[in-house]
């Protein structure tokens, strides 16, 4: 079960972060009523090859009974150019039961190419992203407003040594109960091909607060084995909790 894909979609939508201070997010994952895991994201400025970048570090892991069944401990890192919002480098370290995957990818946006440690050089479309940077790129380049206007956004993404088009559509507004009270949210659906993980291409919904913060506060995924729910548990800036009960 490729749970990293689920973590990536959820956290990618969180990347509104300008990475001035250190920002941290933690999500709780549940399979039905069963608590099944945690996912954490940090973002901060960091020099990479003497150039300023925004460094995103994501870790997703299973806990409790789910950990005994699936045993997932995945780490995904991405360094983004703070001026163009495009990825400079990404690293994936996947540990899911007996499955192991490691790769480093560097991006050459001048020549529209990437270099993967696993498969070498590849030509790619202009403005290619990875699975983490794509939502940050969409948000910073005003694509989110286009979504709210009813447009479907398409961005080329390189992930897992494969290239595909990410389709993102806006579903509507819904009010839900959360850890910090009832929240009016935008509902957005990243569309992925129907396969072994999801029941269909529209079975992935992310709820983003309809306020200035635009926090991805909740998500639902209809999997082949049942529903997975993710809820924002903690949001900190420089170690100080930002979530308050309304």
Residue from 196, 181, 80 nearest 127 by CA: 80
Q: Residue 7, Cβ neighbours under 10 Å: how many?
A: 28
Query: Is the sign of the CA dihedral 83, 93, 157, 215 positive or negative?
Result: negative
Q: What are the tokens at 116? A: 């993967």
**Is residue 12's pLDDT more than 80?**
no
In angstroms, the Cα distances linking 199 to 35, 37, 221, 245 are 21, 21, 9, 35
The per-residue pLDDT for range 227-246, each reduced to its tens digit, is 778 888 888 888 787 765 55
Instruction: Give which of 145, 204, 158, 212 is closest to 184, Cα–Cα.
Output: 212
Q: Tell me the per-residue pLDDT of 190-211, one tens digit each, with 9 for 90 and over.
A: 776 555 444 544 567 888 888 8
| Residue boundaries of the structural domains of the chain | 3-241
Beta carbons within 10 angstroms of residue 124's beta carbon: 19
The residue ranges of DSSP E strands in the chain, in sequence order, are 23-31, 34-48, 51-62, 73-80, 87-96, 99-108, 113-116, 120-123, 153-159, 162-178, 181-191, 204-209, 216-223, 226-237, 240-241
What would the pLDDT profile of 19-61 be if each residue is shown by its tens digit?
466 788 888 888 777 788 888 888 889 999 999 999 988 888 8
């Amino acid at each position: 079960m490729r749970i990293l894909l689920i973590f990536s979609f959820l956290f990618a939508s969180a990347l509104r972060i300008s990475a001035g201070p250190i920002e941290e997010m933690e999500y709780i994952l549940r399979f039905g009523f069963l608590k099944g895991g945690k996912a954490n994201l940090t973002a901060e400025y960091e020099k990479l090859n003497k150039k300023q970048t925004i460094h995103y570090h994501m870790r997703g892991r299973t806990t409790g009974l789910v950990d005994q069944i699936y045993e997932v401990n995945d780490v995904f890192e991405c360094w983004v150019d703070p001026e163009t919002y495009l990825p400079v480098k990404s690293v994936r370290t996947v540990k899911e039961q007996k499955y192991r995957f490691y790769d480093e990818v560097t991006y050459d946006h001048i020549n529209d190419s990437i270099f993967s440690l696993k498969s070498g050089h590849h030509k790619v479309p202009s403005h290619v992203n990875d699975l983490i940077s794509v939502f940050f790129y969409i948000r910073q380049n005003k694509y989110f407003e286009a979504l709210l206007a009813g447009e479907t956004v398409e961005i080329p993404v390189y992930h897992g040594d494969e290239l595909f088009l990410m389709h993102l559509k806006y579903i509507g507004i819904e009010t839900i109960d959360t850890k910090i009270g009832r929240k009016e949210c935008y509902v957005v659906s990243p569309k992925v091909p129907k396969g072994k993980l999801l029941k269909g291409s529209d079975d992935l919904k992310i709820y983003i607060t309809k306020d200035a913060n635009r926090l991805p506060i909740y998500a639902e995924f209809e999997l082949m084995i049942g529903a997975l729910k993710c809820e924002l548990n903690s949001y900190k800036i420089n170690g100080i909790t930002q979530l308050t009960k309304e």
